[in-house]
């Protein structure tokens, strides 16, 4: 078991307390935005851009840990909106990945 229900409940509690009237599509767009910010942080980590405040082309998103947290939070918001049990989801995902690795090894 992965204990994602605890995290899902925490996100749901936060959303209920702080409010969110976004549609599922708007939540999806927010997730995509957060993934873009993670990409920006990766460009800073790999030296392709400089960290800064966004001015002069400097990246204003340079903290990889923060951006991964934002991506995970946004993904959980969507999972909760559609009543996706992330424990079951991860169980299925690991099984799929195990099969992919097995097929690759057995070629």
For the chain, the C-alpha Rg in angstroms (whole number) is 17
Q: Whole-prediction pTM value?
A: 0.84
What are 1's two structure tokens? 């078991």
Helix (H) and strand (E) counts in the chain: 4, 0
- Per the DSSP assignment, residues forming a β-bridge with 51 are 59
Report the pLDDT value the prediction gives residue 46, as an integer from 0 to 100.
Answer: 83
Digit-coded pLDDT (tens) for 27-81: 999 999 999 999 989 988 887 777 776 666 666 788 899 999 999 999 999 999 9
């Amino acid at each position: 078991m992965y204990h994602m229900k605890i995290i899902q409940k925490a996100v749901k509690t936060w959303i209920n307390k702080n409010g969110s009237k976004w549609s599922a599509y708007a939540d999806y767009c927010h997730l995509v935005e957060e993934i873009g910010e993670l990409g920006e942080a990766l460009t800073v980590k790999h030296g392709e851009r400089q960290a800064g405040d966004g001015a002069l082309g400097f990246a204003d998103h340079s903290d990889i840990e923060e951006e991964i947290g934002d991506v995970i939070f946004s993904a959980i918001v969507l999972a909760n909106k559609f009543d996706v049990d992330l424990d079951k989801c991860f169980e299925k995902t690991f099984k799929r990945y195990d099969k992919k690795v097995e097929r690759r090894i057995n070629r």
